[in-house]
Amino acid sequence: MTLLLKSMREEIEFIFKKVSLMILFFIGMPVLTLWFAGAYAHEYVNDIPIAVLDEDNSSLSRQIAKYFDDNERFKIEYYASNREELERLIHLKKANMGVYLPPHLSEKVLRGEGSQVLILTDGANVVIGNNAYAGAAEIIQTVAAGTEIKMIEAKGSLPNKTATSMTLPFTFTDRMLYDSKLTYMNYLIYGFMTVFFQQLMLSGLATLIFRNPKQTAGDHPFTRLMAKVIVAAALLMLTGSLAIYMINRKYGVIFAGDIKLALLMSSLFAVAISAVAILLCALTKDKIKFSQVSYMLSLPTFLACGYVWPVEQMPSLLVKIVKLIWPLIYFSRPFDEIMVKGLAFEAIRQNAISLVLYSIVFMPLTLWVFKKRFTTDEITKCNEDTSILIRGEVNL
């Protein structure tokens, strides 16, 4: 215990002597979190530029166009003269969506014949495309239902309530749990934070290890390495908690979880990812090479951790490989759901157990590789120095 506390004090003193480490441990999490959160400061994608081609030019078609222009999600920027121009505006990214109101639209509606309003969306951008399509579908369905109600009222001289019940025999209501607005901020930010924590933990721990790798690999390597892990994890969890407080106050990000449970999962993940960091340090034996490898792995590990795409929808073999080699898959989504949904420990018990098992299996292996890689070099150098000395004595 005395060696552990002494080693921790040495690591803290070293951090306060290095400006780069102070920035990494004390500023990294809050700055990265606020920076990325700022990109999603708006709750929805609004004022999507659209183009309208009205070949009917009737009161109905003009009313439909007005519905789009009055909706906060859309902004009519162009009125096209033909379909080629409408598609060209979308192709040139001057408009993200086109609304085509065909000729004789009003006449066909009044005669009870079928007619279609064509919505052209830019599917190259999924975020804008999905928002535009959802908003357009809602507007068109509302206008269509309202038009049909008026027609039934006019033809049968029925009261509005009766006409509405004939047109809409049933409706549905919904209750969106946890994030009622379905905002991108609440969906993405905690997942980003887990990646920030991972990368800063990898980078910070590598810097502490490469400070004195041979001394660390000497006597009591486990204690010395754990001192580095504890210091790095504690500082990043402290500043991570500050970052969560800041985005909750500034952007209203949902925070409904148990902070103790979030810290527990963060601690378990910190130990698990430390095993990866120690192994990469041992294999690369160079800070620059370590950084290149770890940052190269950051994007694929995030994409395959089950956050941006459900684990259940990924190939089973890929999921097994990811679970075997990288612990983020046990941490990223559970951490988000703790914060947003307020999950209890029972709901994430299996993920916590998986992180513990990952550490139990990989930590002894990485410690063995680390000690072997760095102490072997020292022994080899010592043998080479001895051989040179012996050859010198013989020559003498």
Is it the case that residue 161 has pLDDT exceeding 80?
Answer: no
Residue 234: per-residue pLDDT: 97
Name the nearest CA neighbour of 205 among 269, 265, 264, 281. Answer: 281
172 in a domain, yes or no? no
Verify that 211 and 343 share a domain, yes or no: yes
Is the pLDDT higher at 39 or at 383?
39
Question: What is the pLDDT averaged over residues 208-231?
Answer: 92
Residue 171: per-residue pLDDT: 45
Residue 155: per-residue pLDDT: 55
23 in a domain, yes or no? yes
Is it the case that residue 50 has pLDDT exceeding 50?
Answer: yes
179 in a domain, yes or no? no
Q: In this predicted structure, which of 16-20, 66-70, 108-112, 248-252 has the lowest mean pLDDT?
A: 108-112
Verify that 9 and 133 share a domain, yes or no: no
Q: Would you call 52 helix, strand, or coil by DSSP?
A: strand
Is it the case that residue 332 has pLDDT exceeding 80?
Answer: yes
User: Beta partners for 196?
Assistant: none
CA distances (Å), origin 98, targets 20, 147, 238? 50, 22, 49
Verify that 341 and 218 share a domain, yes or no: yes
Verify that 31 and 55 share a domain, yes or no: no
Verify that 151 and 272 share a domain, yes or no: no
Question: What is the pLDDT averaged over residues 111-117?
Answer: 75
Residue 41: per-residue pLDDT: 75
Q: Do the beta carbons of residue 258 and residue 181 sit within 8 Å?
A: no
Domain boundary, last residue among 167, 200, 221: 167
Is it the case that residue 244 has pLDDT exceeding 90?
Answer: yes
- Tokens at 113, concatenated: 């014949």
Q: Bin 183: left if φ > 0, else alpha if -120 < ψ < 50, else beta.
A: beta
Verify that 340 and 239 share a domain, yes or no: yes
Residue 154: per-residue pLDDT: 52
Is it the case that residue 187 has pLDDT exceeding 60?
Answer: yes
Stated pTM of the model: 0.80
304 DSSP assignment? T
List the CATH number of the domain containing 121: 3.40.1710
197 in a domain, yes or no? yes
Verify that 26 and 59 share a domain, yes or no: no
Residue 146: per-residue pLDDT: 67
Verify that 247 and 310 share a domain, yes or no: yes
Residue 218: per-residue pLDDT: 85
Q: Which domain holds residue 284?
A: 2-40+184-383
Question: What is the pLDDT averaged over residues 2-19?
Answer: 94
Residue 297: per-residue pLDDT: 86
Domain boundary, last residue among 167, 197, 212: 167
Could you give the number of structural domains in the chain?
2
Verify that 104 and 220 share a domain, yes or no: no
Q: Do the beta carbons of residue 358 and residue 270 sit within 8 Å?
A: no
Verify that 201 and 309 share a domain, yes or no: yes
User: Beta partners for 49?
Assistant: 75
Q: In this predicted structure, which of 180-189, 242-251, 259-268 has the lowest mean pLDDT?
A: 180-189
Q: Which residues of 223-247 are buried (b: 16+ CB within 10 A; e: fewer)?
A: bbbbbbbbbbbebbbebbbebbebb
Domain boundary, last residue among 167, 198, 219: 167
Q: For 90-101, what is each residue's pLDDT tens digit?
A: 999 899 999 999
- Chain centre distance of CA 157: 55
Give the alpha-carbon dihedral of 172, 177, 183, 188, to 10 degrees.
-140
Task: Give 199's pLDDT tier (boundaries 50, 70, 90).
Answer: very high
Is it the case that residue 373 has pLDDT exceeding 80?
Answer: yes
Q: What are the backbone angles phi and psi of residue 114, rounded to the nearest 5°?
A: -75, 145
328 in a domain, yes or no? yes
User: Beta partners for 53?
Assistant: 100
Is it the case that residue 176 has pLDDT exceeding 80?
Answer: no
Mean pLDDT over the full length of the chain: 85
Is it the case that residue 388 has pLDDT exceeding 50?
Answer: no
395 in a domain, yes or no? no
Verify that 132 and 197 share a domain, yes or no: no
Verify that 338 and 200 share a domain, yes or no: yes
Is it the case that residue 134 has pLDDT exceeding 60?
Answer: yes
